[in-house]
Amino acid sequence: MTANTVVGVPAETAGGERRVALVPKVVERLRAKNISVVVEPGAGSAALIPDDAYVHSGATLGDPWSADVVVKVAVPTDAEVARLRTGAVFIGFLAPLTQPERATALRAAGVTAFAMESIPRISRAQSMDALSSQANVAGYRAALLAAEHLTRFFPMLTTAAGTVPPAKVLVLGVGVAGLQALATARRLGAHTTGYDVRPEVADQVRSVGAQWLDLGIEATGSGGYARALTDDERAEQQRQLAKAITGFDAVITTAQVPGRTAPTLVTAEAVTGMRAGSVVVDLAGESGGNCELTTPGAVVVEHAVTIASPLNLPATMPEHASELYARNVAALLELLVDKDGALSLDFTDEVVAGACVTGQEV
């Protein structure tokens, strides 16, 4: 049987980006669907995947940019958009809310583009939810960073020299990343507490063995996200959090509202009140940060408290991050082709329509 659709996998060019859009196991899955895969030589090297592994899985090495479908991780640059052929399909992260010019460039190039962050949050699309898969990686790594920078043990230790109490870890924002941070910190032996303005996630916090911090402020929004707080709500939240945070050794923040500046949850006053040697790990640095003293992409020390705001944490664990992302991409690709492997874009499908940011007939 001749393959009908060719999928191209280019090497990622963004600084620090070690992930790759498809991995050999997923290439095998696509080949079984009569989809051919062309991989740029060296595309998987940063994720420690050699070219031979792709070849053995059924891919060919070559120019991925002339393919029917090009799949990437990072937002494409102008130079990369220029290499896409007219009529091609592009799949990857596109930051449509914060970088709308990317969609404009793809539209001008005649490319039908699907943004992985625009996948509708419905049960049928869970296997395509790259935001969640990568947030799991980020939450896990955030807990490890907190343990690394903290000047105290995470677990309780009973030794001949006496007993060391466990660290107390607070996670602010308990979506996928926050829940994973709580679960990982608890596995490391810490005493964990979670907080969110969405009261419906309290049971999820308790399900990973953590306590729930209730400040009496509720702000449930749409699509599983929190709504923006009013000025009065925000002031009251910051006041109560500043008081609560002083009792914790490590604070991990993950709160973000799509397309908006991240809310400030940890004020300078709160940092000042933390015990010397404590840690804040701020996962919202790309959208301004949840900590008032955050420097996005850097580790700083303020008032004897270490504040780390890593950018693109999933790229620091490229093997599993790539594997999970590749499965998300494959699930979407399988929705875009027919039983013979030919492209068949059905914009009456809510997942296809929701993820498409250019090329859809309106």
Which residues are catalytically annotated? 121, 126, 129, 132, 225
DSSP string for 189-243: T-EEEEE-S-GGGHHHHHHTT-EE---S---B-STTPBPPPPHHHHHHHHHHHHH
DSSP structure class, residue 10: P
Alpha-carbon distance values, 247 to 92, 96, 194, 276, 285 (Å): 41, 39, 13, 12, 24
Containing H/E element for 326? helix 318-336
**With contact defined as beta carbons under 8 Å apart, do 305 and 278 qualify?**
yes
Phi and psi (nearest 5°) for 280?
A: -120, 125
Containing H/E element for 23? none
d(CA 139, CA 328): 18
Distance of CA 89 to the CA centre of its chain: 23
**With contact defined as beta carbons under 8 Å apart, do 8 and 65 qualify?**
yes
Alpha-carbon distance values, 102 to 41, 297, 328, 361 (Å): 26, 23, 21, 19
Alpha-carbon distance values, 296 to 85, 282, 304, 310 (Å): 36, 8, 18, 7
**With contact defined as beta carbons under 8 Å apart, do 86 and 109 qualify?**
yes
Contacts by residues 206-212 (CB-CB < 8 Å, ≥ 24 positions apart): 208/179, 208/182, 208/183, 209/182, 209/183, 210/171, 210/182, 210/186
d(CA 213, CA 187): 20
Q: State the distance between the two ends of the chain, measured CA to CA, in whole angstroms.
A: 35
